[in-house]
Amino acid sequence: MTAAAWGFYGIVAAGAVALWCLMPRRGDAGAAGRGRRAVGTLIATAAAAGLIVWLLSQRQVQALMPMSQPVVGPFFYLFALIALATAVRTIVHPRPVYSALYFVMTVLAIAGVVLLANAEFLAIALILIYAGAIIVTYVFVIMLAQQARGEDLAGSASYDLRSRPPVLPLLLGFLLLASLGGPLSDESNWPATGPAASVAQAPPAGGAAAMGSELFDQHLLAIELAGVLLLAAIVGAVAVARKRVGPADRIAVAPSNEEGNADA
Amino acid sequence: MPDGAIGLVHLLILGAALFVIGLVGFLVRRNLIVMFLSTEIMFQGVIVTAVGFGRFHANLTGQAFAVFLLVIAAVEAALGLGLVVLMFRQAGTLDAEAYRTLTED
């Protein structure tokens, strides 16, 4: 157990506490709720700063993005911070529309990270497909399924304003992330040289031409199967969307738990 | 190698952190749409991890894997959101806990 591993556990624990503070729950509108969210934001900022310091201290057997390109390092940290912060905002925001828009920001930041790793085609595909197509689907569904409400949160549904008890999921997430990151920080767990040390000078460029030949040379069957899968999804989505819902189709559901149970 | 350079561990930690944030969001939030958004955050984490490993091994397999992840995400969004709209029209709520009556017990 190295000091780096303990540092990482501390950072992850701080992140879990921050998420606990930020999750929507009963009493968010009051002064206590505002204070708790401010504390959560503070802890999250501290955890992010700690994560940057921790990552800066990591020595790697092989630099994937060498410092010979001097803009890479700062931009990686910038994109990583934006991605993590907007991902947290996505899961804690009480309004689904804002969640979807914050997720667009996450996708753009991840596209930047992917671009720094020389995956140009994938970066463009992420922006086009995720930020351009999938999120539009989400926003349309939110428009269809959620009534327009005023500026304040008073009209929001109780299932948006109060989350489930966050303690057990946060504990699970802490254990998962700690068990993944702790061993990664131990240098003795890494091989002395990376597998690509000899070709590190010429990393593969993931441009459209290179990705095309890679996909159609090495993954032809998978490409065809992906096409079949997309066709099946189109047919299935049309079948689902065409279904007429009459009064006889109403299904009885349990009453919404208005009180919420986020106090646990 | 110099301190401060970006290595595999940076991408792996970023990917794992995104995955865990999405996992927590999926387990904690009650709105079906936000739960689906959380799975998309998990996809982003996996994409970062796949690209990082592909870069580490200096080939394009990781990026090809990420392209197939995009396909799966698009299929999941189209079908999952179609079902969410259908459930909303039939039950009038997006609360995941309201659908616990659909279990057999």
B91: nearest CB among A64, A229, A251: A251
Q: Are residue A186 and residue A217 in the same domain, yes or no?
A: no
Residue A156, domain CATH: 1.20.120.1200
In the stretch 14-53 of chain A, residues with CB closer than 8 A to chain B read 15, 19, 23, 51
A71 touches chain B (CB under 8 A): no
- Quote the CA–CA distance of A156 and B89 in Å, as a whole number: 18
More confident residue, B105 or A57: A57
Residues of B in contact with A95 (CB under 8 A): none
User: At A151, is the secondary structure helix, strand, or coil?
Assistant: coil
**For residue A129, which of B39, B70, B45 has the smallest C-alpha distance?**
B70
Following DSSP, what letter does each residue of B39-97 receive, concatenated?
A: HHHHHHHHHHHHHHHHHHTTSSHHHHHHHHHHHHHHHHHHHHHHHHHHHHHHHS--BGG
Closest Cα in chain A, distance from residue B50 (Å): 10
Higher per-residue confidence, A250 vs A91: A91
Residues 6+ apart with CB under 8 A from A31: none
pLDDT > 70 in chain A, percent: 82
End-to-end CA distance of chain B: 59
Q: Decide if pLDDT at A105 tops 90.
A: yes
CB contact under 8 A, B16 and A181: yes
Q: Can you give the pLDDT at residue A37?
A: 87
pTM of the model: 0.89
Please judge whether A164 and B85 are an interchain contact, meaning their C-beta atoms are less than 8 angstroms apart. no
Q: Is residue A45 a part of any domain in this protein?
A: yes
Residues A211 and A178 in one domain: no
Same domain assignment for residues A154 and A220? no
Position with higher pLDDT, B39 vs A149? B39
- Minimum mean pLDDT range among A34-43, A95-104, A183-192: A183-192
What pLDDT score does A253 carry? Answer: 73
Count of structural domains within chain A: 2
A22 with A142, same domain? yes
Q: A57 and A26: one domain?
A: yes
Burial readout A208-230 (b: 16 or more C-beta within 10 A, e: otherwise): eebbeebbeeebeebeeebeebe
Asked if pLDDT for residue A114 goes beyond 50, the answer is: yes
pLDDT band of residue A78 (cuts 50, 70, 90) is very high
Neighbours of A39 (CB within 10 A): 14
Report how many Cβ contacts below 8 Å link chain A to chain B: 314
A75 touches chain B (CB under 8 A): no
What pLDDT score was predicted for residue B1? 43
- Model confidence at A2, in pLDDT bands (50, 70, 90)? confident
Cβ–Cβ gap A134/B34 under 8 Å: no
Does residue B65 lie in a domain region? yes
Predicted confidence (pLDDT) per residue in B44-84, tens digit: 999 999 998 888 887 888 889 999 999 999 999 999 998 88
Q: What is the pLDDT of residue A263?
A: 42
Whether A254 has a pLDDT exceeding 80, the answer reads no
Residue A255 lies in a domain: no
A184/B59 touch (CB, cutoff 8 Å), yes or no = no
In this structure, what token pair is assigned to residue A37? 């969210």
For residue B17 the two structure tokens come to 């952190």
The answer to whether residues A48 and A138 belong to one domain is yes
- State chain A's mean pLDDT as an integer: 82
Please give the residue that has the higher pLDDT: either A25 or B18.
Answer: B18
Q: Which domain holds residue A234?
A: 207-241
Reading the block at residue A3, the tokens are 């000091």
* Domain of residue B56, residue span: 8-102
Q: Is the ipTM of this complex over 0.85?
A: yes
Looking at the structure of chain B, the number of domains it has is 1
Asked if pLDDT for residue A241 goes beyond 50, the answer is: yes
Residue A153's pLDDT band, with cuts at 50, 70 and 90, is: low
CATH classification at residue B33: 1.10.287.3510
Residue B47 in any domain: the answer is: yes
Q: Which residue has the tokens 């991840």?
A: A110
Mean pLDDT of A219-226: 93
Is A251 in CB contact (< 8 Å) with chain B? yes
